[in-house]
Structure 1
Amino acid sequence: MPNHTLQIKVCGMKYRQNLQDLLLLQPDYVGFIFYDKSPRCIAEQEAVFDLDFPIQAQKVGVFVDEAVPVIREKASQGGLQVVQLHGHETPQTCRVLKEAGLVVMKAFRVGTDFDFAPLQAYAASVDFFLFDASGASPGGNGVRFNWELLQKYSLEVPYFLSGGIDLMHAAEIKALRLPHLYGVDLNSKFEVQPGLKDVPRLKQFVEELRG
């Protein structure tokens, strides 16, 4: 997969004007966190979801060990096309959501001794994996893991790279030769405060990655 086609996901959006500014950059995926322990939790759906999203910008809801009926309700209310599962969700949970017509992205936190073998059980039940760094929180920790570990990945499921990605990493990411790397997930390193993105810095990253 040519790296110039990498998809760009910006996660943890919370504020209406900030989101409106971001959408001008034509991101491919926009993430909203539905996890009340996160400082980026989106409480008022109607405050952002009535904006005009570019046709290619898919809305992603991020959930952590949430009940399937709640996920489906939030997806319906917010017009979410994708659900990102960032907890201990089982392959069965992923399959139920996929069969409900949602695109399913299952996140895993990668440490130095990460074993890719258990992911085989999810392969038929998800559309994407997302590999994030281990940290104190389920996501948004602002640290990266050793990307060389992804050389051990042998499944056919495409994945997003997450965890501490900053403006300085654009060239490095473009140079990666990882056949199933599908996109990058940008969050805390592009923030003024939790949930408020520095859109000019995001614009620089997007232009460099897509250039």
Structure 2
Amino acid sequence: MKVKVCGLREPENITEISQLDVDYLGMIFHPDSPRFAGNADLGEWIEAKQKLLKKKELFGVFVNAEIDYVLNTVHDYHLDWVQLHGDESAGYCQELKLLWSVNTLRKASICKAFPITEGFDFRRTNDYVSSCSLFVFDTGGHRTNGGTGKKWDWSKLAEYRGPIPFLLSGGIGPEDAEAIRKIDHPQLRGVDLNSRFETEPGKKDVPLLSRFLHELHA
């Protein structure tokens, strides 16, 4: 079970989280987010701490961003993954993939997030199969792009029969480890954790995360 901790932006907190049994470290590059990580100092810190972070994969979360902004951020922050959390089309994903295939820029794998509501049709993911290596299934039915701290009906996962693995996201909290362990789906790669493990926006509660990880991997 892979674990992604998202919404990180403070070097000291990132250092502490990187010592835990997590696989992915996520930063949000959407200017309207209270967890916005887009500052040059953080990029320079990541550049200097490659040895510390080399065992973790870095995610950058974008919402309807210009492609040039995505490309430059991948380069500046040494991102391994681009998570598209807005209304990005399959064509947008294909364009990103094509650009990385024909130039020498730092390349990242593409992850597309989908907002899951009661009426969501998982066949919507089909158009993204050729360009994306991972999906995120997050809480839908709200005006903002992610970060609601609310769960959706995980039983709906039974409707997903696609070939792309996914991260479960949306309101996962410290009390959910046992329920997550009981999910039996062949494409469940892991979980995406954020606001329910914070002391304030952008700062994670390390002891709380540590206890949850122990229970999740029990």
- Note whether the superposition's TM-score is higher than 0.5: yes
TM-score by length of 2: 0.90
Give the distance between the partners of 2:13 and 2:128, measured in 1 at CA: 35
Aligned to 2:150: 143
Residue 108 of structure 2, aligned match among 102, 111, 122: 102
Partners of 1:35 and 1:62 within 8 A in 2: yes
Letter in 1 for 2:181: K
Aligned to 1:3: none
Give the distance between the partners of 2:53 and 2:217, measured in 1 at CA: 17
Aligned to 2:215: 208
Give the distance between the partners of 1:88 and 1:54, measured in 2 at CA: 30
Q: How many residues align?
A: 206
Letter in 2 for 1:107: A
Q: Does 1:84 find its partner at 2:90?
A: no
Give the distance between the partners of 1:64 and 1:192, measured in 2 at CA: 24
Q: Does 1:184 find its partner at 2:191?
A: yes
Task: Classify the secondary structure of the residue corresponding to 2:138.
Answer: strand
Aligned to 1:118: 124
Q: How far apart are 1:97 and its partner, in Å?
A: 2.3
Give the distance between the partners of 2:96 and 2:59, measured in 1 at CA: 13
Give the distance between the partners of 1:56 and 1:114, measured in 2 at CA: 35
Task: Classify the secondary structure of the residue corresponding to 1:74.
Answer: helix
RCO comparison, higher one (Cα < 8 Å, 6+): 1
Q: Does 1:157 find its partner at 2:164?
A: yes
Q: Does 1:193 find its partner at 2:203?
A: no
Q: How far apart are 1:45 and its partner, in Å?
A: 4.1
Instruction: Return 5+ residue gaps in structure 1 as ranges.
Output: 1-5
Q: Does 1:30 find its partner at 2:36?
A: no
Letter in 1 for 2:168: L
Letter in 1 for 2:59: V
Give the distance between the partners of 1:15 and 1:122, measured in 2 at CA: 32
Query: Is 46-55 or 163-172 further displaced after alignment?
Result: 46-55
Q: Does 1:65 find its partner at 2:60?
A: no
Query: Is 111-120 or 77-86 further displaced after alignment?
Result: 111-120
Report % sequence identity.
35
Letter in 2 for 1:80: L
Partners of 1:45 and 1:78 within 8 A in 2: no
